[in-house]
Structure 1
């Protein structure tokens, strides 16, 4: 029996690129692989369209290095916009090379000479549904899927002008209103700081550390407007810094501000991730995908939304604890008065 090797590359809700190989044993047929996450918070939308390939006379590893084996030559890709079931607009996507757009493919057995994506820079309406339509000029086959768009949402805490306290042994609260059409949430806190040599304190280098708080906080409904509250233990902040910043007796550091990055994923993306996690631990190295929401194809078409709160100050007692506390004084941070404790 012949084997079809399918490359699935999808974009995760937390702004990461992932890829999974599936080995599907079946008679030959044209299989279209589609992955796209619409993001109303972004200025451009990208959809990836691949094809399965099969050649009984050529090694699959050889075919994988040929871009023509991965991409269709003549596709028409569009987004139909619907409100209340009525078609109100059609957005035409153009073919671009993802390598030139800042989305390079990870190295591997598949060719990364070209990384074709389909792009639009048209603004998405958060009150609309969008249906992707993929037509092949060389066949009558039409591939499609439809998704809701995740709406913007309000972050209650933190807020600019209210410093955050991260004293050891305590906790701080983050809360926000759930987004309409959003199912699962992620949060990463970015800690900015500067570093300079003790012998040259004016030559400061800007640095930061990303502290991942959670990646899959699930909301029971997708109707939006519900307040969500999460408690974050301050001790984890100090543990993160100790793990991420190397000891160096020749440097002096100064704490900066915090940025809070919220991400939201749609219900289809949540289901996809749940199925993928459930498959982990199976002994078979190559497994067939169990979830797809693509009509006449395989893959995932959903939505996400990213929101950031920038420039949150750290209150002075926390700066003093970071500089002089027993846990982190060896990192040589300045205290709130600009002095060191070493």
Structure 2
């Protein structure tokens, strides 16, 4: 028998949900294959599916809870039934445990998100559980929410089931270049690419995110602030010294930079011009559970991969990231001129000041 994940789409960070960025949680639907005949499970008991990616720097913490479903109807019909996707009666609590085993707790309350992407699994209700960081009680701990663990506890009355999952809070990643708090003028060429430098430990998963911010000036005279992001992933790797740090350089050349902008910004007849604003660089450092989950749910369906999970009595992922931000960087006049006039991005109507 072979196990296959039913949905290979990795959801976006729950932090992004509050910013209106769409997220789709993969519902855990499994199919068992014996010989060449596909036989679906019908009327099997629901399994809790959890997606929680926390960042201690966020003001609100989010956890997504859904359930597997089965039945005799078409899968698309079943997915449109909200009673098949959500549990009715859930108690949720998030605990913070510092290195002295002192505990602070907040309750997570259900919340419907009004902005969501259209689609089979995102139409109707979009239910998450959230709690405010300020509701934690800090007893003067200088390392509050910096060192220690998060523990998620759920009691699902519908199926009389307790779920518990724990994740370590990783230390903040270290930027070498560009340094946080020191805005710079960005200049690069093919001979001298712009360098993003940070320290990396083999045990952890890293993401380098470049936020490109700009304004769209519309024909009707209004203006809207926009942003796009470029993301590079660094998976954990084997090392005899997994917590030793090593220097990593990521190079950004003009053509790569322009190509990414051209791919992500669409032409729009309502736009009169665009004006560059600033660039932020973000390093996110996460526990390997996130990468293992990402890798398993995006596996080729022809490969025998059972989705990775660190959830007891359920499935999914509960993990934590720490972030370091270097913000407020701008392009120098030469780089800005290239953005406005190069054939790759000229059609996007960026104006030179």
Task: Tell me the TM-score normalized by structure 2.
Answer: 0.72
The aligned residue for residue 229 of structure 1 is 249
The answer as to 2:184 corresponding to 1:162 is: yes
Q: Residue deviations 1:61-96, cap 9 Å, x none? A: 444322222222211111233334836233221122
CA distance in 1 between counterparts of 2:351 and 2:122 reads 49
The answer as to 2:277 corresponding to 1:266 is: no
The aligned residue for residue 18 of structure 1 is 24
The aligned residue for residue 112 of structure 1 is 123
CA RMSD of aligned residues (A): 3.9
Q: Against the structure 1 CA distance between its residues 333 and 282, is the aligned structure 2 distance closer, same or farther, given a 3 Å change threshold?
A: same
Shift of 1:147: 0.7
The aligned residue for residue 165 of structure 2 is 145
- 8 Å CA contact 1:142, 1:296 repeated in 2: yes
Partner SS, residue 313 of structure 1: strand
- 8 Å CA contact 2:62, 2:130 repeated in 1: yes
Unaligned runs of 5+ in 1: none
- 8 Å CA contact 1:170, 1:234 repeated in 2: no
- 8 Å CA contact 1:195, 1:253 repeated in 2: yes
Deviates more, 1:293-302 or 1:324-333: 324-333
The aligned residue for residue 71 of structure 1 is 86
Find 1:52's aligned residue among 68, 76, 82: 68
The aligned residue for residue 210 of structure 1 is 228
Counterpart mapping for 1:291-330 below 5 A:
291-322=308-339
Q: Against the structure 1 CA distance between its residues 309 and 106, is the aligned structure 2 distance closer, same or farther, given a 3 Å change threshold?
A: farther
Q: Against the structure 1 CA distance between its residues 87 and 70, is the aligned structure 2 distance closer, same or farther, given a 3 Å change threshold?
A: farther
Q: Against the structure 1 CA distance between its residues 321 and 8, is the aligned structure 2 distance closer, same or farther, given a 3 Å change threshold?
A: closer
- 8 Å CA contact 1:77, 1:135 repeated in 2: yes
- 8 Å CA contact 1:80, 1:87 repeated in 2: no
CA distance in 1 between counterparts of 2:95 and 2:302 reads 39
Q: Against the structure 1 CA distance between its residues 313 and 228, is the aligned structure 2 distance closer, same or farther, given a 3 Å change threshold?
A: same
Shift of 1:177: 3.9
Q: Against the structure 1 CA distance between its residues 154 and 68, is the aligned structure 2 distance closer, same or farther, given a 3 Å change threshold?
A: same
Find 1:133's aligned residue among 153, 158, 166: 153
Q: Could you say which structure has the larger radius of gyration?
A: 1
CA distance in 2 between counterparts of 1:6 and 1:194 reads 39
- 8 Å CA contact 1:182, 1:224 repeated in 2: no
Shift of 1:187: 1.7
Task: Tell me the TM-score normalized by structure 1.
Answer: 0.74
The aligned residue for residue 45 of structure 2 is 29
CA distance in 2 between counterparts of 1:38 and 1:85 reads 21
